[in-house]
Amino acid sequence: MCGIVGYIGDKQAAPILLDALERLEYRGYDSAGLAVRNDEGIATVVKAKGRLKILYEKVDGGRTLKGHIGIGHTRWATHGEPSEANAHPHISGSSSEDSLVVGVHNGIIENYVELKEKLVKNGYEFYSQTDTEVAVKLVDFYYSKFKSPTKALSKAMMRIRGSYSLAFLFKDHQEQIWTAKKDAPMIIGVTKDEAFIASDVPAILKYTQDIYQIGNCEMACVEAGNVHFYNIDEEEIVKDTEHITWDLDAAERGGYEHFMIKEIHEQPKALKDTYNSLVKDGSINLAKSGLTPDIIKGISEIRIVACGSAWHVGMVAKYVIEDMAKIAVQVDLASEFRYHCPVIKKDTLAIVISQSGETADSLAALREAKSKGVRTLAILNVLGSSISREADHVLYTLAGPEIAVATTKAYSAQMLICYLLSIEFAFVRSEIDSAKYQYYLQQLELLPSSVASILEDKERIQWFASKFSTIHDAFFIGRGIDYAIALEGSLKMKEVSYVHSEAYAAGELKHGTISLIEDGTLLIGILTQNRLFEKTVSNMVECKSRGAYLFAIAAAGHYNIEDIADFTIYMPNIDEHFIGSLAVIPLQLFGYYTSVIRGLDVDKPRNLAKSVTVE
């Protein structure tokens, strides 16, 4: 879950590396470092514990590091505590000047203890607690033996178990950066006189929109204006570039105080763009994904696997698909999917949802599903990601780059795709007629403007957040789709504001949880489903009688809720299948404003990283 960058070209490397790392800091921010080789061939490594700004100040914005080639890293600790010694880059010798190899790493090397023991027997000494230092010295071991970067990387890749993307500077190859990858993201951008490497697109979007993807167990030799690719057998292979349609402004704050609030406000556009990409001339078109009507008719059940907010999307999708298309849906946490020995029928469709397409647990779940011989569909936001290359079918959200760690617009776009799948499955399988089909599409067209109308009233949420910014606990409840939305609202609260929050199916309160309700406890009830309204109200009243302060998010028309709730937000009128996309907006805003009022780093919450590329 770390961020890697690299540059080689005709400009000073350090300022470019720092700029690129700033755009990747959402991937890790407990330490950072640079390795830059000067014109005399000497590589200098500078590292700092803490946020990137500490490293920035240490090298005076890059002005104290001269050279046209370098690599950089921002770390989210896995092996070894956050410290300067454990920060990347790591070196193979006693100093960077006498090291044959300097490297950075994203991922986890599972057998690093075994490799370390063998390297110690061969005379290597270690100064850090990291698995990365082991990888660097393993490459050094093979390079010292074979004097070839391709041979050294190939041999090391055959020995390493786990996930990794690696970038190296070799002392004897001063105009090259070498990379290798397995199950962790890495892209390369090449212009006329320069080349860039990075863990994610936003890092190099400022410099180029044409990128190469490195495949699993592949290597690349990056030179100024050129790149060569090799497989693990050291055979050169040819790759085509992919053009990224995101513009630079999409990866900037654009006048907003934080990325999170910017991305909350970008949801109407993300919804509209995603809808228009899949709905043509009044009908849903899944042709690009290869998901044909015949395939849809042959599916008997659906398994959705995802992590975090994407799992919450899957929970909403379960309710909508089962009600609309009458297909049984199970939703699994990707991190658990492999470990409960899932029983999957051959005519099952496994749907994997991931913003980055690199989520380690989701990728593993995809492979597990494929090993069972079932058809797989991925819902992703990033072109060319690992999951996109391995899934049978892919549908893309058009949310653009999402920088804040806490997802908002990608979540909403994922949910929209699930709605469209529900409608298409229902229609193809004759569960709805043409009139209902068109009605549902018309309702979805209302989503962008409905979200925009809620955002216009955000000051009320800001006021409410200021009133409750000092709370220690919050409880979110709902039934059906509302419960799925409560899960997401609770996650937003805890991940950005550090308030302990839990979400419960409202009917479960009496099975233990109500014992936690006391005077002043904040209870947020989501009440958008008409047939479940009175039942959820009853649960809220039970909590109010025990001292809870009630915040209600209700569908328009249920104005009697004000007789019970202390604070109420009403949703615009829209079909109940889709109203969850509106109800989540106040919850996103509530989490955001609570975090800001508490003086926290809302875009980079402690201990979290945007793309979880390790298990």
Distances (CA, A) of 58 to 4, 47, 53, 553: 19, 9, 8, 48
Cα separation of 609 and 615, whole Å? 13
The reply to whether 151 belongs to the active site is no
**Tokens 């390795």 identify what position?**
35
Cα separation of 576 and 486, whole Å? 15
Cα separation of 146 and 139, whole Å? 10
Asked whether 358 and 328 are in contact (CB, 8 A), the reply is: no
Half-sphere exposure at residue 163, Cβ-oriented, CA atoms within 13 angstroms? 21
The three-point CA angle 209-211-216 to 5° equals 150
Asked whether 169 and 37 are in contact (CB, 8 A), the reply is: yes
Cα separation of 249 and 228, whole Å? 31
Nearest CA-CA partner of 219 in 148, 153, 133, 152: 153
Q: How far is CA 393 from the centre of its chain?
A: 20
Kindly give, in sequence order, each residue whose CB lies less than 8 Å from that of residue 554, ignoring residues fewer than 6 positions away.
527, 528, 533, 561, 565, 568, 569, 570, 571
Q: How far is CA 156 from the centre of its chain?
A: 29
User: Residues 47, 155, 181, 610: which is the catalytic one?
Assistant: 610
Q: What DSSP designation does 500 have? A: E
Cα separation of 48 and 132, whole Å? 17
Cα separation of 551 and 554, whole Å? 10
Q: What sign has the CA pseudo-torsion 354, 360, 364, 367? A: positive
Side chain identity, residue 358: E
Cα separation of 558 and 103, whole Å? 60
Classified as helix, coil or strand, 606 is coil
- In what helix (H) or strand (E) does residue 535 lie, and over which residues does it extend? helix 530-544
Cα separation of 24 and 462, whole Å? 29
**Tokens 């033996």 identify what position?**
145
Neighbours of 339 (CB within 10 A): 10
What is the length of the chain?
A: 615
The reply to whether 610 belongs to the active site is yes
ω before 89 within 30° of 0 (cis)? yes
Asked whether 7 and 69 are in contact (CB, 8 A), the reply is: yes
Task: Give rounded-to-5 percent helix, strand, coil for the chain.
Answer: 40, 25, 35
Cα separation of 552 and 569, whole Å? 6
User: Residues 2, 221, 307, 418: which is the catalytic one?
Assistant: 2
Kindly give, in sequence order, each residue whose CB lies less than 8 Å from that of residue 278, ignoring residues fewer than 6 positions away.
284, 285, 286, 395, 417, 420
Q: Residues with catalytic annotation?
A: 2, 610
